[in-house]
Amino acid sequence: MKFFELLDQKEIETIHENALRLLNEVGVLFNYDPAVEILKKAGCRADGQKVFFETALVEELRTLPPAEFTLYGRCAETNVVFNQNALVMIPCYGSPFVLDLDKGRREGVREDFVNFTKLTQESPHIDMASTVPCEMTDIPLKKRTAEYIRTTLEYCDKPMVVSKDVKTMRYAFEQCSILYGDRASLIAQPRFISITDSFSPMSYDGTMLKMMIYCAENGIPQRIGGLGVAGLTTPVTLAGNLSQMTAEALAGIVLTQLIRPGVPVVLNNSSSCADMKSLGLTLGAPESALVCVGTAQMARFYGFPCRSGGAVSDAKVVDAQAGAESMMNLLTSALSGTNYILHACGILESYMVSSLEKFIVDEESCGIVKHLRKGIPVNEDTLAFDTLKQVGPQGEFVTHPHTLAQFRSLYNPRLFDRNSYLQWEENGSEDIAVTANKEWKKRVESYVRPGLPKDIRKTLSSYVDSI
């Protein structure tokens, strides 16, 4: 299908040239000396930890990441392919708080984490597991990060998203080795992707750089870039935001390709703007959607898969604001050609809350936008000339064989109500949040754990206990 675009080719090239100029004249601060040394050896100029990139080097190395790569699940059916036609959905990630209708807003605990992971495993629309769908505040900090990985591997057989620091990457790599084999096996068939964030404006901190280098050395795909806040950490103008965030992402990508040429990357820019009254981040602003479109266009220009957007909202509960903002961002993500949508379901309160009811509502929206992304197939069968000829003027199509053969091509919602008012009233007059509350509980109750040998489970538990 044709993707929704806002920038013409000249404007894309202008933003690219502006990003190159930023890299060459402004530079990027790398707060980790080993990263600076790698870049200096490649011919970059450095003033302390500020690195200036030669345009020729950037132009050369940006061509090395593959246009397509695969993340592998526990079975072939759960493998996920990343390319510029992909639409990969990942649920909420990193929220400290959880919300549901029964217990209200609270700190997340392991039970909540398990419930989100069960919903992910059972979802027909969510392609990958989040290793932090919420916090586990009832698990000691020393073991918590390793327990994120162990629990995800136990309850879900889909590929994973992993982030935080180099220690977390080691936990993920070593636990995946217990399931899937040695380092060479994991490089040949990666099982997770990292989230490597820049620190706007125009810098990377030591935590991210250590993780970036470890991932590149071990062939772990990385989503590289950051979240800039227009008016606070990037220029308030979106062309300035796109220029800066593209420059930051390219700087990180260059470093990865110097370490391991051809290691897979995904270009990221999940920026939005500040609410200029409160100076807080706002995700429900239309600027979020505009940045998403521009980022997708920049990624196509470079030939990388792209991450941006998501079903994100500033709303505090599952209400009309949550639905409007989330669908605006999710639909824009899908129709602009974004390939990797993190926070595709469950997020409220500007990343602060993961909602079990919103997970279910957003999941339905994910199904809708995946259906829209398929476009309109045009062929002899779909044109239906013979069917129209047979039915003729003022005929009916309900009983025609063509309808019986094709009606499953129409999207059939699992959650959204299409009944008449009287039917809805007879069914209890439920608000969508109430329906979603019943649905997530039903799904958790009927969940079937994917196969994992007892000795593997025991080894994973021993691994966490040893930390």
Question: pLDDT tens digits, the chain, 467 residues: what are they?
Answer: 899 999 999 999 999 999 999 999 999 999 999 999 999 999 999 999 999 999 999 999 999 999 999 999 999 999 999 999 999 999 999 999 999 999 999 999 999 999 999 999 999 999 999 999 999 999 999 999 999 999 999 999 999 999 999 999 999 999 999 999 999 999 999 999 999 999 999 999 999 999 999 999 999 999 999 999 999 999 999 999 999 999 999 999 999 999 999 999 999 999 999 999 999 999 999 999 999 999 999 999 999 999 999 999 999 999 999 999 999 999 999 999 999 999 999 999 999 999 999 999 999 999 999 999 999 999 999 999 999 999 999 999 999 999 999 999 999 999 999 999 999 999 999 999 999 999 999 999 999 999 899 999 999 999 999 99
| Residue 442 belongs to a domain | no
pLDDT confidence of residue 456: 95
| Residue 63 belongs to a domain | no
Amino acid identity for residue 143 in this structure? K
| Crossing angle (nearest 10°) for helices 9-21 and 286-302 | 90
| Residue 133 belongs to a domain | yes
Sheet of 272-275, strand order: 229-230, 272-275, 280-282
Amino acid identity for residue 125 in this structure? H
- In degrees and rounded to multiples of 5, residue 233 shows phi and psi of -110, 0
**What is the rounded CA–CA span in Å between residue 350 and residue 322?**
11
Q: Is 312 in the same domain as 401?
A: no
Q: Tokens for 179?
A: 């399931």
Bridge partners, 105 (sequence order): 99
Residue 345 CB: number of other CB atoms within 10 A?
A: 32
What is the Rg, in whole angstroms, of the alpha carbon atoms belonging to the chain? Answer: 23
pLDDT confidence of residue 1: 84
Q: Tokens for 344?
A: 């595709």
Q: Tokens for 328?
A: 């605006």
Q: Which domain holds residue 402?
A: 380-409
pLDDT confidence of residue 189: 98
Q: Is 151 in the same domain as 274?
A: yes
**What is the rounded CA–CA span in Å between residue 283 and residue 271?**
8
Burial 296-305 (b: 16+ CB within 10 A, else e): bbbbbbbebb
Amino acid identity for residue 321 in this structure? Q
Question: Helices marked H in 181-319 — which ranges?
Answer: 183-188, 206-217, 238-259, 286-302
Q: Is 285 in the same domain as 388?
A: no
Q: Tokens for 376?
A: 């309109």
| Residue 326 belongs to a domain | yes
| Residue 172 belongs to a domain | yes
**What is the rounded CA–CA span in Å between residue 404 and residue 400?**
7
Q: Is 330 in the same domain as 394?
A: no
According to DSSP, the β-strands at 28-30 and 50-52 are: antiparallel
Q: Is 310 in the same domain as 392?
A: no
Question: What's the number of domains the chain is made of?
Answer: 2
Question: Helices marked H in 303-431 — which ranges?
Answer: 320-336, 356-373, 380-383, 385-391, 401-406, 421-426
Which residue in 68, 5, 4, 25 sits closest to 243, CA to CA?
Answer: 25
Residue that is last in its domain, among 353, 373, 393: 373
Which residue in 332, 336, 295 sits closest to 312, CA to CA?
Answer: 332
Sheet of 97-100, strand order: 104-107, 97-100, 353-355, 347-348
Alpha carbon of 447 to those of 120, 168, 451, 458: distances in Å? 10, 28, 13, 21
Q: Is 211 in the same domain as 120?
A: yes
Q: Is 184 in the same domain as 292?
A: yes
* Longest CA–CA separation in the chain, Å: 79
Residue that is last in its domain, among 358, 373, 388: 373
pLDDT confidence of residue 120: 98
Contact by Cβ (8 Å): 234, 245 = yes
| Residue 48 belongs to a domain | no
Q: Is 195 in the same domain as 215?
A: yes
Which residue in 73, 178, 164 sits closest to 126, CA to CA?
Answer: 73
Contact by Cβ (8 Å): 122, 157 = no
| Residue 53 belongs to a domain | no
Q: Is 364 in the same domain as 387?
A: no
| Residue 138 belongs to a domain | yes
Q: Is 281 in the same domain as 401?
A: no
**What is the rounded CA–CA span in Å between residue 167 and residue 207?**
10
CATH classification of the domain holding 178? 3.20.20.480
Q: Cα 92 to the chain's mean position, in Å?
A: 9
Q: Is 167 in the same domain as 105?
A: yes
Q: Is 392 in the same domain as 310?
A: no
According to DSSP, the β-strands at 45-47 and 50-52 are: antiparallel
| Crossing angle (nearest 10°) for helices 141-155 and 166-180 | 40
pTM as predicted: 0.95
Residue that is last in its domain, among 312, 347, 373: 373
**What is the rounded CA–CA span in Å between residue 269 and residue 246?**
8
